[in-house]
Structure 1
């Protein structure tokens, strides 16, 4: 086994060693049953200490890629029966929009009220992934330090400390923000709503990915906007040629993209695609609302860039929050609206006046004290391991012609089944077995994705979760 030695100055060295071994396993350079070098031998080959190499092996073991055999060493585990193909690039029809899926969406959300149901449908972190005890301590500290124990209104633009910490955090994705660029909001969807209100009026057309997060679809409908769904690749995101053609019609008022680990298909635009998209939009003078809600949940060595990274004209309105990473119920989000800052400020003043004072302070302290990065590191590792195990179970238990996405971050797997499978019917049968899924038709206003579903791997992997995925596979085969 040949492993190129990494620079000793690089962070999280054990993860880099694990990633290179994983690549050899996935490329079948190392095959199921192959014995790996001993810890001592790999230490000599790479020039690293035993604890680093041991930690790398532990990491691979936690991903179910290798296993230990008593008195024998480490071996490559048996992988899924086959590696499933990724879903095909979407091809939205040009027909009229259907009626909204509000009733179905509401029903799927209501499943969370039943503790007996295994929620493979909702894209939220399980409470076991959240640092609840540390957040509670932060809440007590905030009540002690804030004026009026946090009962007073905050300034319209938002908590000073939080905006400074968010600006510093932007360095992780190549941002160049300062605290005056940022306005706090009640979560990411609230930020997106302000941005749409600032850039559109009823009757305007916006361009989005397809499939798209159902919350965005619902929001655009309540605002009286027309939605143009564009072809989207399950790996690289929106098809740029389709976006270019749409922009050339001069009918697109604004573009809205989830550029990193899209909900629902998990796609992530490569950096070059982001650069090109920003240049295209600047050429046509069309604003881009960027939802980067999942950007910090990357599985690779580095945090991906954003479209905002390449914004030189102020046309990118960047939205984010801690709802998927730290505390969904805190409703702490923010927007860097570029040249639309004054419009967004006026909208926030008229719609909300102030953000929630105490939770903004708690999140600001969490960021400032380094707890956020430590928390994210653990969360990313768990989610990555979950994604491998969920994908493996789908490959083992679903029909052979199933396709499944291969996200490099986030929470979601987009599963494409045979054309004769209706996932709304599958939902009805699964919910009777106390399993909730998200049928594909929730993610479009068109008549499409009826044979698709979204599964969230935000639940901790367990024997029970594996049983439920196996059950879904059996229901698909019926």
Structure 2
């Protein structure tokens, strides 16, 4: 009979990990069914399932519907990691709106191989259940929700978001949450509430071009911080900056920076918060990729750590579930009243019906089931994409190895021109994101970002291989 201890499932998961490490279980091997392994190891079915789920969440195993659990395909690492960035030591005026508009126009063209847009494909998301909830809500309560809601958003959705925040170690009230039209509006509200035209904002380098575009529209300057492809920003450089120059705010990704995929360790996050507190500089954190992690535990956001009181938290469901619903949220803490005033001025409130449907979807537990599946698929997509890059791009290409999200950052030799590659790729029906749009100073011309957000198929793989051959030709 099984001894009921809280560690039995962990013992079983450790046994499986050991068998994978010593080669007994090779990548792609199908594991015994939950019932079979429960009998073999003399544990309950629930304990066996818990062990399998733990390994699935950490990326060791993958589950396939109607088939079972398999050892995940390990991602090779034969190519080096990208270099730590070395941006200029002064703030830059941002001017990238034209380049961003051109990129987004091509990225939305379904005739092109979709490697350029960091938005998950509807086929991959398979959010039919959410759409059914929306349709049912519209039929039953359409008239009720064809009206303005409270500026903060629908209470039920704010309650569900607050519940999920508690899982990440951040206790808050639904009153602390304000619903926005995606994370872009959240970031815009945060920046406009605490900074003014001409102010300097410290950002990662490279960083998301949407943030740079927002800074340009708001008339703010960007100070680009050196950023390591795995560890995140160089805190010592930020410290020297704060000692010598006025900085209105710092804007960072909580986890899995776009495009590098970097994620600061918790100890470094605490050091950063301590530094910002000493200088009384607010932090705006963008956590849109936080739920798409490949380890066993969700990394904590800054706002959930000691010293996070002067942090404005921004996120959305656009990267993990429903980009078309445009539902994001902001938790502004000390700046909540000013953010609310700006929300009223910008858009008054967000649409009610999608909020109600999403609240019901979250309450049902369907989102967690969806996340387990989407994490597995995106992790596998990145592995396959990495294989294709290694097989087709120049041998001295450097590639990021993110532990979450769904984008890869490629660095080629200094003489390489990703803009020239972009022009040639469009002629061959392929779209990607050239590196210079991820920098206010238009650096990273020799870099590019590829998105693994579409269902993996022959067209995607062929597009990457053709892109690699083009890169080889341009270098030669």
Shorter-chain TM-score tier: 0.7 to 0.9
Contact residue 143 and residue 149 of structure 1 kept, 8 A:
no
Contact residue 99 and residue 445 of structure 1 kept, 8 A:
yes
Q: CA deviation at 1:39?
A: 5.0
Distance 2:179 2:31 in 1: 51
Distance 1:177 1:10, change over 3 A: farther
Q: CA deviation at 1:112?
A: 3.6
Say whether 1:182 aligns with 2:177: yes
Contact residue 260 and residue 408 of structure 2 kept, 8 A:
yes
Distance 1:61 1:408, change over 3 A: closer
Distance 2:158 2:291 in 1: 17
Length-normalised TM-score, structure 2:
0.87
Distance 2:302 2:428 in 1: 42
Length-normalised TM-score, structure 1:
0.87
What is aligned with 1:385? 380
Of the candidates 225, 243, 249, which is equivalent to residue 248 of structure 1?
Answer: 243
Of the candidates 367, 371, 379, which is equivalent to residue 372 of structure 1?
Answer: 367
Distance 1:146 1:425, change over 3 A: same
Gaps of 5+ in 1: 1-5, 65-73
Distance 2:361 2:459 in 1: 33
Say whether 1:449 aligns with 2:444: yes
Counting only pairs closer than 5 Å after superposition, residues 188-203 of structure 1 correspond to structure 2 as 188-203=183-198
Distance 1:199 1:49, change over 3 A: same
Distance 1:471 1:308 in 2: 43
Contact residue 200 and residue 248 of structure 2 kept, 8 A:
yes
Say whether 1:266 aligns with 2:266: no
What is aligned with 1:429? 424
Say whether 1:469 aligns with 2:464: yes
Contact residue 208 and residue 259 of structure 2 kept, 8 A:
yes
Contact residue 142 and residue 149 of structure 1 kept, 8 A:
no
Distance 1:78 1:333 in 2: 33
Gaps of 5+ in 2: 1-5, 65-69
Instruction: Give per-residue Cα distances to partners, 1:63-114, cap 9 Å, x unaligned.
Output: 99xxxxxxxxx9998975x621111111102367476232222222112443
- The range that moved more, 307-316 or 230-239, is 307-316
Q: CA deviation at 1:464?
A: 2.2
What is aligned with 1:71? none
Contact residue 30 and residue 76 of structure 1 kept, 8 A:
no
Q: CA deviation at 1:61?
A: 8.4
Q: Secondary structure at the match of 1:150?
A: coil
Distance 1:63 1:269, change over 3 A: farther
Instruction: Give per-residue Cα distances to partners, 1:351-379, cap 9 Å, x unaligned.
Output: 21111111111111111111111111110
Distance 1:189 1:211 in 2: 18
Kindly report the root-mean-square deviation, in angstroms, between the aligned alpha carbons of the 2 structures.
3.2
Counting only pairs closer than 5 Å after superposition, residues 19-58 of structure 1 correspond to structure 2 as 24=21, 30=23
Q: Secondary structure at the match of 1:153?
A: coil
Q: Secondary structure at the match of 2:375?
A: helix
Q: CA deviation at 1:46?
A: 6.1
Counting only pairs closer than 5 Å after superposition, residues 4-23 of structure 1 correspond to structure 2 as 7-9=7-9
What is aligned with 1:130? 125
Distance 2:110 2:27 in 1: 42
Q: Secondary structure at the match of 1:446?
A: coil
Say whether 1:310 aligns with 2:305: yes
Q: Secondary structure at the match of 1:317?
A: strand
Distance 1:76 1:224 in 2: 47
Q: Secondary structure at the match of 1:148?
A: coil
Contact residue 186 and residue 332 of structure 1 kept, 8 A:
yes
Say whether 1:356 aligns with 2:331: no
Distance 1:372 1:145 in 2: 22
Distance 1:423 1:237 in 2: 24
Instruction: Give per-residue Cα distances to partners, 1:365-423, cap 9 Å, x unaligned.
Output: 11111111111111011001111111111112212111111101101101111112111
What is aligned with 1:294? 289
What is aligned with 2:3? none
Of the candidates 151, 158, 161, which is equivalent to residue 156 of structure 1?
Answer: 151
Q: Secondary structure at the match of 1:320?
A: strand
Distance 1:37 1:116, change over 3 A: closer
Distance 1:366 1:21, change over 3 A: farther
- The range that moved more, 465-474 or 44-53, is 44-53
Q: CA deviation at 1:116?
A: 2.0
Aligned residue pairs: how many? 456
Q: CA deviation at 1:115?
A: 2.4
Q: CA deviation at 1:241?
A: 1.1
